[in-house]
Structure 1
């Protein structure tokens, strides 16, 4: 398995769990995919830690879903992986919101979690 393929496999594993939890409107499950001290920047003021992440996703409308496409990955260290993505957030009552997402994943034992999440809107 090439490094790029391995990186994408790891990233997809974490982001597929995130995507499923977002689509299920399960804020606690979304937050469980992040480290306890994760820095989170959605489209509102940033927060640190799972509590703020759960509150952010709890405030999102029912029916919101996420679809992503990996643009780039970089292995920064054995236990750190950077991902850069296109993400489309779809809603039941408004147009789809297209954003760029940068995530930094950290490995603890055999599992990977999001330690930094940064969304930006590029017009």
Structure 2
């Protein structure tokens, strides 16, 4: 996979993820993740899988949106890609800036997020 293919793959996943957040479509958000995805948002412990992703975004405030800038991508191996992005979550009360690291995996011909980790930027 070329670097531009890797960037396009990660961007497509993050576009669908951000659109799901904007529309508060929890099923769409969770559908971007593998069944066993490791998910580390702002909760103290990591969680795993679609139900955890749905629960996490379900407790976020209505009106939440996410804008991202993809900073770096790299193919890790055939069927695995890394993405690193600057994300601003726009909450009704204040914006929250984070760095997001994702690992995407090709599963049955579809690319999905297998690992998601945010860290707050002060």
Partner residue, 2:18: 19
Partner residue, 1:59: 59
Structure 2 unaligned regions, length at least 5: none
Q: Deviations over 1:28-84 (max 9, x none)?
A: 221111000000000013211110110000000010000000111110011000000
Structure 1 unaligned regions, length at least 5: none
TM-score after normalising by structure 2: 0.94
Secondary structure of the corresponding residue to residue 16 of structure 2: helix
Q: Deviations over 1:74-118 (max 9, x none)?
A: 1001100000000000022x1210000000000013210000000
In 2, the alpha carbon distance for the partners of 1:75 and 1:109 equals 18
Match runs of 1:105-120 below 5 Å:
105-120=104-119
In 2, the alpha carbon distance for the partners of 1:57 and 1:11 equals 20
Secondary structure of the corresponding residue to residue 61 of structure 1: coil
In 2, the alpha carbon distance for the partners of 1:6 and 1:25 equals 28
Partner residue, 2:74: 74
In 2, the alpha carbon distance for the partners of 1:16 and 1:5 equals 16
- The 8 Å contact of residues 26 and 58 in structure 1, kept in 2 or not, is answered as no
- The 8 Å contact of residues 100 and 121 in structure 1, kept in 2 or not, is answered as yes
- Runs ≥4 residues deviating over 4 A: none
Instruction: Identify the range of structure 1 (38-47 vs 98-107) with the bigger mean alpha-carbon deviation.
Output: 38-47
TM superposition shift of 1:13: 0.9
Secondary structure of the corresponding residue to residue 113 of structure 2: strand
